[in-house]
Amino acid sequence: MIVTGLSLQTLAILVGSVSALRAFKLFLDFRRLLASIHHLPGYRTVLSSSTVLGNLFPPIPLFTLGHDHSWLSKHAPFAERGLDVVSAAAYWPKAMGSLFIADVNVIKDIVWSRGGRFPKPLGQYTILTFFGENIVASEGNEWKRYRKIVAPAFSERNNRLVWDATIQIMLDLFDTMWAGQEEVVVNHSVDLTLPIALFVIGAAGFGRPISWKEDAVVPLGHQLTFKDALHTVTQDLTLKFLVPRWAMGLTKRLRRARLAFDELHQYLKEMIHERQESQQEDNHDLLSSLLSANDDENLSKGEVKLSNSELIGNIFIFLVAGHETTAHTFSFAFALLALHPDKQEEMYQHIKRVLPDGRIPTYDDMQSLAYSSAVFNEALRMFPPVCTVPKTSAEDTTFTLTDVNGTMKTVVVPKGLGLTLDIVGLHYNPKYWEDPFTFKPERFLGDWNRDAFLPFSGGYRGCVGRKFSETEGAAVLTLLISRYTISIKDEPQFVGETYEQRKARVLDAQSILTLAPTRLPLVFTRRT
């Protein structure tokens, strides 16, 4: 008994000593990190928000910045410190530092740099590679390889296809699901916008048209619809990352997530097989570009075919990028128009001036329908789908910028430091956007700072599908507002709330994989 007691005491002393040494080393590393960035003002936390664990928490002062930090803070952290670059340093699991950046010139320096000076931290993109490597979660030569394959799909010819497909999908909505109804109530906007965006990317991106009635039917051999499988996967990517396969059957939610991943993988394999077997030569969509690039006759000497997992991985990433982000932008645009009926009326009158005979708009009308595009852009500015873009400094460097007093400041950036392009901070920076918290579509009708608008990222790694999304946005908003007015649904539990309270409620959002509305109830009333 005495020996056992001594052994336990010795073990406790040993564990305590090792823990103390570990804590002391972390402390020294943390001090060295702060010295390396010259103690640039910013956040000091225990847990790094660059880790999956850190992103599971909401913002907790001194503990972690959390997953919603940039969205909740907007430009305030920069305004408080008088500089559009602030630091973040975390103590655990190791000393980790990053710079949050909301300065146009510094961001331009990063996104337009060559030679791999500011690469993506690919470890943070692992969550997007469950179905295979892809253009978003790649760097260097691999990214160039993927870009070469997918870029031809986003052509002017495809933009016309996007417009025509979008118009047809909206007309199908009006003529079937909304037929005979003077007023349509949608309890949460995404129940409407997710199908719209999915149908468009399905038709124009993958040659997979889906009607509104077909969408509710589970195909033979499946347990979920394509829409439900994709939506569940995008909502539960973090679960898939954190929970091992053997544990995915422990709860009802985990079982549904496992089923959704399996179902979506099956859908994507079927999509590829059907196109390969169809012998269709006249398709110019994304799927055709991916498959065509794998034909031996189209491969240059030394080029490597896409593996099946790479094919599926790239299809998945474009479904997510072209589906969820666009759907959420539509939701916010609808809500903003509902909350600002004067802007909605201005948009309607603008459409009437462009289409006085009430005809269905064509792709050639898009440039004239500037107010529709302006509303879409303003929704993207106020609610950017991706709130931050992570980078890394591959070398020792410096950034030069002016502070709030106009004084030139130099920020020291050591090799290996994380860099966060704070898209929300940039979009709410009053230096570039007058009255940034106010919905003003007209700001996009004249001259505006394009470098301060990054909903599609920017530079060499800017979103290849940007024009696809912009075309879809203009078409949806134009056709919808030409035929319906949008208002916020009145609900008895919110009787008596002020306009500002209603605005805060319906525009409440959270950033998970992308920025999404919490709950947005709308009413669409047919124009007479």
* Cα–Cα dist 351/360, whole Å: 11
Asked if 199 and 326 count as a contact pair (C-beta separation under 8 A), the reply is: no
* Cα–Cα dist 127/241, whole Å: 6
Asked if 519 and 335 count as a contact pair (C-beta separation under 8 A), the reply is: no
Q: What is the pLDDT along the chain (528 residues), one digit of tens a residue?
A: 455 655 888 888 888 888 888 888 888 999 999 999 999 999 999 998 777 677 778 888 899 998 889 999 999 999 999 999 999 999 888 899 999 999 999 999 999 998 889 999 998 888 889 899 999 999 999 999 898 888 888 889 899 999 999 999 999 999 999 999 999 999 999 999 999 999 999 888 888 887 887 777 899 999 999 888 988 998 888 888 788 888 998 899 999 999 999 999 999 999 888 888 876 556 668 888 788 877 766 667 767 788 889 989 999 998 888 888 999 999 999 999 999 999 999 999 999 999 999 999 999 999 999 999 999 999 999 999 999 999 999 999 999 999 999 999 999 999 999 999 999 999 999 999 999 999 999 999 989 999 999 999 999 999 999 999 999 999 999 999 999 999 999 999 999 999 999 999 999 999 877 899 999 999 999 998
Asked if 199 and 210 count as a contact pair (C-beta separation under 8 A), the reply is: yes
**Architecture of domain 140-178+188-384+455-480 in CATH?**
Orthogonal Bundle (1.10)
CB atoms within 10 A of CB 508: 11
* Residue 298 pLDDT: 67
Q: Which residues partner with 517 through β-bridges?
A: 509
SS3 call for 37: coil
* Residue 282 pLDDT: 61
* Cα–Cα dist 183/185, whole Å: 7
- The structure tokens listed for 137 are 């979660």
* Cα–Cα dist 331/354, whole Å: 25
Sequence-ordered list of residues with C-beta below 8 angstroms from that of 125, at least 6 positions apart, any chain: 136, 137
> What residues form the annotated binding site?
463
| Residue ranges per structural domain of the chain | 140-178+188-384+455-480
* Cα–Cα dist 16/200, whole Å: 60
Contacts 24+ apart (CB under 8 A), 126-131: 126/241, 127/52, 127/237, 127/238, 127/240, 127/241, 128/237, 128/317, 128/320, 129/313, 130/237, 130/240, 130/241, 130/261, 130/316, 131/264, 131/265, 131/268, 131/309, 131/312, 131/313, 131/315, 131/316
* Residue 216 pLDDT: 76
What is the distance, to the nearest Å, from the Cα of residue 363 to the centroid of all Cα atoms in its chain? 26
> What residues form the annotated binding site for heme?
463
